[in-house]
């Protein structure tokens, strides 16, 4: 009986400029690339946790991969026996299972621009590149006046999303929520409070989006917008089941993956019949490590022309 096998590779990606987040400075990220083989079918996936998200770490995922001793059936049994754990590993296995479809994907998606700080000049540059929506990172040092200065230079068809990464207290979150709800060109305020904060109930779902908290207990019941990182969301079949019952907007977002994870994330995002811009403006931010193969810009697309076996060999 062919129970399948797998191999994995840990890689480190270093940012050209350290990425400043509400939780600190990120200088590099570690990823685990996964290759599976069963019944002559090859699949690829990527384990890509991100700081501050309630998932397993790279080290925890690597330990599970080591303990299963490259037996795919052993690995899937271990993951299945530990329900609600290892969401990044579950996502990677989902990618492997759907790889025949993923590798053929060449569709296009609208993409929101990403700025790590509110800067009117940088925002104008993004709009000049053709982005219609810009996601701005905010923190406790950001003022409403900072955002108003960007709205003053925004085109009439431009919009903003504000992402606090859980950095605000309840009083600040309420102030920002009131501001956002009064501005037509701001789509939503993302993750204003930390994961598990009881204050979300008082803020309400109108123009309040969950990101980190979507993966926490109760997050799937949120009635407002939800930001989904395919690399972190867990089993994709279970996610699809949830999606059929969720009526609020879903925006898909990158976790700074390599080309393997990006191809899979774009494919999953394309299953959505939405007109909203997704969050994949993450290319060009790493040192030249030969792990990016897609193109950046206000429209992003899959690559059906890539030789993934060759890419894997080069990475190995």
pLDDT interval class at 83 (50, 70, 90): confident
Verify that 174 and 240 share a domain, yes or no: yes
Give residue 22's pLDDT: 75
Token pair in block for residue 96: 């492997």
> 10 forms bridges with which residues in the sheet?
32
Domain that residue 19 falls in? 5-102
Q: Which of 71, 102, 133 is the last residue of a domain?
A: 102
As a whole number of Å, the CA-based R_g of the chain is 19
In total, how many domains does the chain have?
2
Tokens of 240: 């699809």
**Domain termination residue (choose one: 102, 126, 161):** 102
The verdict on residue 201 lying in a domain is: yes
- Let me know whether 29 and 166 are in one domain: no
Task: State pTM to two decimals.
Answer: 0.95
Percent of residues in the chain assigned helix, strand, coil, to nearest 5: 35, 25, 40
Residue 70: inside a domain, yes or no?
Answer: yes
Summarised one tens digit per residue, pLDDT across range 258-303 is 999 999 999 999 998 888 999 999 999 999 888 899 999 999 999 9
- Secondary structure of residue 24 in the 3-state scheme: strand
């Amino acid at each position: 009986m062919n129970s399948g096998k797998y191999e994995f590779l840990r890689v480190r990606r270093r940012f050209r400029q350290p990425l400043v987040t509400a939780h600190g400075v990120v200088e590099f990220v570690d990823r685990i690339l996964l290759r599976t083989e069963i019944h002559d079918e090859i699949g690829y996936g990527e384990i890509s946790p991100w700081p501050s998200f309630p998932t397993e770490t790279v080290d925890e995922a690597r330990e599970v991969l080591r303990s299963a001793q490259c037996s795919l059936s052993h690995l899937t049994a271990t993951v299945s026996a530990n329900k609600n754990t290892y969401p990044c590993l579950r996502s990677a296995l989902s990618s492997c299972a759907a790889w025949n479809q993923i590798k053929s994907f060449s569709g296009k998606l609208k993409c929101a621009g990403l700025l790590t700080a509110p800067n009117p000049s940088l925002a104008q540059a993004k709009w000049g590149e053709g982005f219609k929506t810009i996601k701005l990172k905010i923190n406790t040092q950001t003022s409403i006046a900072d955002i108003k200065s960007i709205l003053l230079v925004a085109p009439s068809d431009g919009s903003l999303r504000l992402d606090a990464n859980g950095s605000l207290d309840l009083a600040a979150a309420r102030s920002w929520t009131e501001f956002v709800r009064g501005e037509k060109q701001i789509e939503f305020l993302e993750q204003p409070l930390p994961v598990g904060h009881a204050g979300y109930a008082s803020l309400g779902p109108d123009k309040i989006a969950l990101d980190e908290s979507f993966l926490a207990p109760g997050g799937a019941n949120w009635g407002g917008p939800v930001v989904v990182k395919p690399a972190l969301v867990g089993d994709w079949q279970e996610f699809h089941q949830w999606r059929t019952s969720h009526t609020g907007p879903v925006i898909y977002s990158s976790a700074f993956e390599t080309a393997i994870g990006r191809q899979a994330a774009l494919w999953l995002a394309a299953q959505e019949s939405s007109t909203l811009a997704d969050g994949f403006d993450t290319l060009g931010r790493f040192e030249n490590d030969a792990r990016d193969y897609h193109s950046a810009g206000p429209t992003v697309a899959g690559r059906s022309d890539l030789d993934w076996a060759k890419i894997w060999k080069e990475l190995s």
